[in-house]
Chain A
Amino acid sequence: MKPLVLEKEQAGHWLKGLCNNFDIFAPLPTDKGYSDWQKWDGGDLFDVAKGVPKSSIKTFFFPQPEVLFQFNARASAPDAFRLREPKCQDKPRILFGVRPCDARSVVLNSMPYEEDPYFQKRIQETFIVGFLCREGCSTCFCKWTGGSPTGTEGMDVAAIDLGQVLYVEILSDKGKRLVGNGFFRSPTKDEETEAKDFVEKAKGQALDQDVASILRSKGLMHLYDAPFWNSVSEPCINCGTCTFLCPTCYCFDIQDETLRGKGRRIRYWDSCMFPLFTQHASGHNPRGDKLKRVRNRFMHKLKYFPDRFGPISCVGCGRCVRDCPVNIDIRQVLRSLLEI
């Protein structure tokens, strides 16, 4: 489809028109100084800060928690303890202002979740309006992971902020459904040139190595037995900050909860950094040491996942780099793995 242009002053009207059928979320400022995903209340949207918001968009596809089933937990009821799939009441969602790294994370997570009906349903019901990056933060490293500041993987609509207008490309049938109302026009020649310039400049030089294929070609145990894991993991405090902020950490636990006769089976975020993640009922723990857990997180992202699916399970958003309490920096680990 041909690119379109939306005058920024029309954008609010366009989105308000979509509010009847969609819930719209965007990275909005919080009282804590960072921006984070919040439901849009009709305010000014176009101050999408550079870089990524605090949380990733995985919460929209992999909510904390996802109710897998509901059941009647009163033993006397005729349908006692029968699992029922919950009826989802949520409206379809628009995520507005998604950065290329976060959009790409959905594509990567879809690989292990290919046959997961809950995840796939949420993908179908979530519309991603991406914003390409003019400039990154010092912690951004999307190119190393196979992405790009101007990548559009995973987006339904890709927007380029040209100052007065948004230059918009429609990338999927879902995207078409969003721009179907008359706020858009065709771009002028100048706008086309400007958009091209934006992409050329922002994209920059291509990386001269294919990180994923280099890592795939290295021996599993060669990387696993690398000498640096102890020093990498030594400062780790075993919290879940990296895994919970990470857009491509997707591990979960499943648990049943009952309260006053109502029961539900939920899945919720779990972290391979937690010792209990792998602990058997017998007490035996295959990854009882911090070193093994830290190594597993990086090996999963940078070796196990690419061995299985191709790309590395990291989009270079830099959240873990910024917010790790003890500054364990995945960029350094990646470099070490490439070098060894």
Chain B
Amino acid sequence: MSNQNKEKNESDVTEELTRVNDNIWDIPTSHAYGMNVPGRLFLSEKLMGTIDKETVNQVANVAMLPGILDYSMAMPDVHLGYGFTIGGVAAFDEEEGVISPGGVGFDINCGVRLMKTNLLKEDATPHMKILTENLFKKIPSGVGSKGEFKVTDTELTEAFLHGSQWAVEAGYGIESDTKNCESYGFMEGGNPDTVGTKARKRGRPQFGTLGSGNHFLEIQYVDKIYDPVAAAAYGLEEGQVTVMIHCGSRGAGHQICTDHLQTLNQAVKKYKINVPDMQLACAPAKSKEAQDYFDAMKCGANYAWANRQIIMHWTREVFEQFYGKDTDALGMELLYDVAHNVAKYETHEVDGKKQDVYVHRKGATRAFPAGHPEVPQQYRDVGQPVLIPGSMGTPSFVLKGGPNSMSLSFGSACHGAGRLMGRGKAKGSMNGEAIQEELARQGITVRAEKASVIAEEAPSVYKNSDDVVDVVDSLGIAQKVARLIPIGVIKG
């Protein structure tokens, strides 16, 4: 697209939106024929220029699905996806609504976990080259990587059923790991019979691998505390070293989605549902097709939790070996783990009435407020930790679920910085080695399989994470607790 066209598109975008307040813009149902509810974009004026017409249309497409409640929403990190946008949130009525794999994505339970340590920045910085090298050797990453870790078919079934709870029981973690995790480390009701042979075959060799693309493992330090009370509850202090792991369900999840999309693409005809995009294939929430997908999706989500658990375990081993202390002595405790590609059956208030709904979060994080029964006991007084990874080289944030998340966004917040530039373009216009050197000057060691990955994931291809987080903070959806600065990055 030429610049001129792009400018035109952007001006068209605001023309079609209704401004509700500084950070909320609605897409009226008159935008496109068939919208059942309006669209709602959580965007500041500053971020308005980051979205284009195609993205607005994708938000509108989701509004056309049957039984959608309130709004088809998009978080401030929104960008063009497939089916749903990335940063899309939609809740569906249990009776009238649907379940759609398009609202979850192929990388089921792609998510983030944050582990604390009692190390200080100065304990880690001088050793970053060795630490990142050791982590890079220990944790398989990159295209075509497979784990040294071999699981049996029975173990794979256990992982599909019990996620990180299985991993901890199998010796890859400590008891508190599942206590501090969304859904306590697994979604109940996964049914391995709904997972095909192909998904099993893809999932087995990839257990315990990071993957490639935007997935990473990062060593960081807390450089700023915004909310001392919440930070104390989360156990965060300025200068403290943390480790963030961002990855998902690998080939297992991708294949589960692929297989069920095939079925649901035929189901739309059977149930006479008009979908504006085949990627939005869906079925009535209570139908066998939808429930089979949902049960398989849970298996994919559980696989991802087990995967992140195992990767965290190996990270602990690397630190233990390097520092000559055990996990306990190093204070390597999981702070929290969130899924940002998932559908959940949750209770929300709709039109003043409590109702069970299917919330789809595609590139969006759950952000339950203080007092919510699903927030782990030790965090319940402050709210659920919301983990927002930055792009490579830029800050990540820890937020807490805010008081307005339930009324504004079905308990959801943003999930990251949000891309601005395509990967192909990034690779063409940026030099991975130069970026690596620039990051090194800023004190960030990057260890990647190859320089092209660094170019594709360069900080400047993303929106500014501060701008994104400021929107959810201002709206009271999720509020800033701490900012984390990277010092060592492992990229696949």
Q: Do A and B bind each other?
A: no
Seen from chain B, the residues whose Cβ lies within 8 Å of a Cβ on chain A are none
